[in-house]
Structure 1
Amino acid sequence: MDDRQSIDLAAMLCSRLCHDMLSPVGALSNGLELLAMETDQEMRANVMQLLEQSAHISTNKLKFFRLAFGAAGGFGERVDVEEPKALIEALVADKAKITINWALADTTLGKPAVKVLLNFAQIAIDALVRGGTLDIGAERRDGACEIVVRASGPKIAFDETIGKALDGSLDRSDLSSRTAAAHMIHLLASESGGGLQYHRGEDALVLGAALPEGEGLIG
């Protein structure tokens, strides 16, 4: 990937982060304005509750993006699986219609695997517009980390350009804040000698990855 493409990808990832953070941060700003004007104690208590909720959502999203998009400073070459697990569970905490089933065979994952797992989960959650089930599995086998995320529900919303970004067939002109994360993990998987795949059915979306593990794969 040349410098221009690297800059474009970084810009699109920043746009995605800003888009996702706008709502909870905007709620914080609006809540503070209301708090400054409100004198009724009951109303002030309600506003404080909303501020706490927005601050919690903002913190969870920033933690998610730190591992999903960033260099994940502060972590070693491998990350305890409880870290991405907690972040994904936080993403669906306010989505009562989505349930998660876990099948994580190992106690740690390499950073590239964590990035793929988190981004797969985000794509799958976005696909479950009417709720459903999220099945997330990962295990090391034959020198590679295999990851599968399956979203099943009554309605699956999936932009095919995201699929193209995952399998590497995305045209450069289609790179956007919507496809940037999928394109990023495609590059990450390719650099490690691995690959990503997906299958969309009427009531399910399956995302899969095989990432060889070895030197230089601490991403």
Structure 2
Amino acid sequence: MTDINPTDLAAMLCSRLCHDMLSPVGAMSNGLELLAMETDPEMRESVMGLLEQSAAISTTKLKFFRLAFGAAGGFGERVDVEEPKALIQALIAEKPNVQINWALETGNLGKPAVKVLLNFAQIAIDALVRGGTLDIGAEIRDGACEIVVRAAAAKIAFDDVIGKALEGSLDPSEITSRTAAAHMIALLAEQCGGGLQYARTQDALVLGAVMPEGEGLIG
């Protein structure tokens, strides 16, 4: 596994978070400006609807990043699978052209496994630029949590540099805000004694992880 200064990695993860939050927060700011100037009741109602939508998206993203990147205070060492499931469902709610299928064969997951699951889901969703199918599965077997996330579509958008980050073979100089999350979960898997892998074809991206059960090292 390549080494990177922890401060630099934290800064890149913060940059990713800020990038993803900019759009919904900016929409709220613009909506408030319009609301201050608008006097027509019908238009004000329309703007309020947009503000509510942007607020809901912002809340979902913050909850997602709390579990995917952060210490997830308020949760125990294990997290009910309904928590990450609800966050992923909320992420694709605005993407009607993405169909999701679940195969979660366990009631709860350790925090490290949850981080891997959420980040895999984000990578897979980003790959479905024109919509497609998202399959998410997790089960406990032989003392380890096995996670599989598959994105399938006519067009898959996936940068191989993210794959190198997942494998832990990315040079530190190549780690950016785009690859920091993948590098983080690769590091997390290594610390837990597990591993990540991926496979890509023209019409599918498959992300897999084996995370030994036990006390999480991060979170």
TM-score (ref. length: structure 2): 0.97
Whether the aligned pair in 1 keeps the contact of 2:2 and 2:168 (CA below 8 Å) is: no
Match of 1:55 in 2: 55
Query: 2:7 and 2:218 mapped to 1: Cα distance?
Result: 22
Tell me the alpha carbon deviations over residues 159-214 of structure 1, each in whole angstroms, 9 at most, x when there is no partner: 11100000011011111010000000000000011100000000000000001112
Match of 2:73 in 1: 73
Change (3 A) 1:28 1:216: closer
Match of 1:163 in 2: 163
Match of 1:185 in 2: 185
Structure 1 segment 1-219 matched on structure 2, within 5 A: 5-217=5-217, 219=219
Question: Deviation at 1:217?
Answer: 4.2
Amino acid at match of 2:27: A
Whether the aligned pair in 2 keeps the contact of 1:24 and 1:55 (CA below 8 Å) is: yes
Whether the aligned pair in 1 keeps the contact of 2:168 and 2:186 (CA below 8 Å) is: yes
- Higher mean C-alpha deviation, range 3-12 or range 42-51: 3-12
Ranked by relative contact order (alpha carbons within 8 Å, sequence separation 6 or more), the top structure is 2
Query: 1:198 and 1:110 mapped to 2: Cα distance?
Result: 21
- Please, which runs of 5 or more residues in structure 1 have no aligned partner? none
User: Identity over the aligned pairs, expressed in percent?
Assistant: 80
* Count, aligned residues: 219
Query: 2:158 and 2:171 mapped to 1: Cα distance?
Result: 18
Whether the aligned pair in 1 keeps the contact of 2:3 and 2:172 (CA below 8 Å) is: no
Tell me the alpha carbon deviations over residues 135-158 of structure 1, each in whole angstroms, 9 at most, x when there is no partner: 000000101000000000010000
Whether the aligned pair in 2 keeps the contact of 1:77 and 1:218 (CA below 8 Å) is: no
Amino acid at match of 2:45: A
Change (3 A) 1:145 1:82: same
Query: 1:129 and 1:155 mapped to 2: Cα distance?
Result: 7
Amino acid at match of 1:36: A
Question: Deviation at 1:215?
Answer: 3.5
Question: Deviation at 1:3?
Answer: 9.6
Amino acid at match of 1:196: L
Query: 1:37 and 1:215 mapped to 2: Cα distance?
Result: 54
Whether the aligned pair in 2 keeps the contact of 1:110 and 1:218 (CA below 8 Å) is: no
TM-score (ref. length: structure 1): 0.97
Query: 2:116 and 2:189 mapped to 1: Cα distance?
Result: 8
Tell me the alpha carbon deviations over residues 92-135 of structure 1, each in whole angstroms, 9 at most, x when there is no partner: 00101001000000110000000000000000000000100000
Amino acid at match of 1:33: E
Question: Deviation at 1:216?
Answer: 4.5
Whether the aligned pair in 1 keeps the contact of 2:2 and 2:169 (CA below 8 Å) is: no
- Please, which runs of 5 or more residues in structure 2 have no aligned partner? none
Aligned with 1:155: secondary structure?
coil
